[in-house]
Every structure is written in C-alpha cells, then in structure tokens.
Amino acid sequence: MDHQSYQAGSDDARLDTIFQAYRAACPDFEPSPEFMPHLWQRIEARQGMSMVFGRWARNVATAALALSMLLGLAVTITGSHGAQLPTESYVEVLAEEHNTANLDFEPVHLSAADPR
C-alpha cells in the first residue's frame, strides 16, 4: 500500500470514528409534553389560513363569473339591436381617412425672384 492510499484509508477511519463518537455523544431526544398540543395548534392555524384563502378564492371566482355573465349579456343585447361592429381593421380605417387620391393639390408657382 503506498503512502497516499494509506493516508486516505487512515483519514476515512478517522472520519468514521468521529461520526461514531458524535452518535454516542448525542442523547436520545425526549419530546416535551407540549409537543402534541403545539402540533395541533399549528395544524389548526394552517387549516384556518386555508379556509380564509379558500373563501377568498371562492368570492373572486363568483365575482369573475358574474362579471363575465354581465359582459355576455351586454354583448348579446347590443348585437340584438343591430349595432354594426366594424369589420375593417384599424390600419384599413387609417388608410381610408388619409387616402391621397382624394386630396386636392394646388399647383405651386416658382419664380426666379422667389428667394426659396
């Protein structure tokens, strides 16, 4: 066995001894009489939090459902009155409004005396 592997084996053995000594030095842990009551307090506290969050989530879901139903109703009513929804895109409307073919250009007269 060369020196390095002997050293590694020796270090490993030392580490094992340290862990064994640690295990022997740690006493068994005795839970206090308050362990179970505190555990149930924590369980109930989290249940309370989940209930509050659950109630809040249910309220939000109900409100969202009511709002979407209202919007659906509004769209239906508007549609039944024959309101025309635009069929053109925004770009098409802009192009229509700035149609250069409809613009009246006036002729520009330039003279030699004109400083421009």
Partner 1 sequence: MLVDYELIRRAREGDAAAFNQLVAAYRKRILGTIARTIGRPEDVEDVGQEVFLRLYYSLDQLRSAEVFEPWLYRLTANAAYDYLRKRRRRMESRMADLSEQQVLLADAVAGEKIDRDEGQKKRIREAVDALLDRVSEEDRVLLTLKEVEGLSLKELGEIYHVKENALKVRLFRARQRVLKAFTASRKQAPVGSLR
- Binding residues for partner 1 (CB under 8 A): 11-12, 14-19, 21-26, 28-32, 34-36, 38-39, 42-43, 46
Report the distance separating Cα 16 and Cα 33, nearest Å: 35
How many alpha carbons fall within 13 Å on the CB side of residue 82?
Answer: 0
- Residue that has been written with the tokens 């592997």 in this structure: 5
Contacts by 3-10 with C-beta closer than 8 Å and gap 24+? none
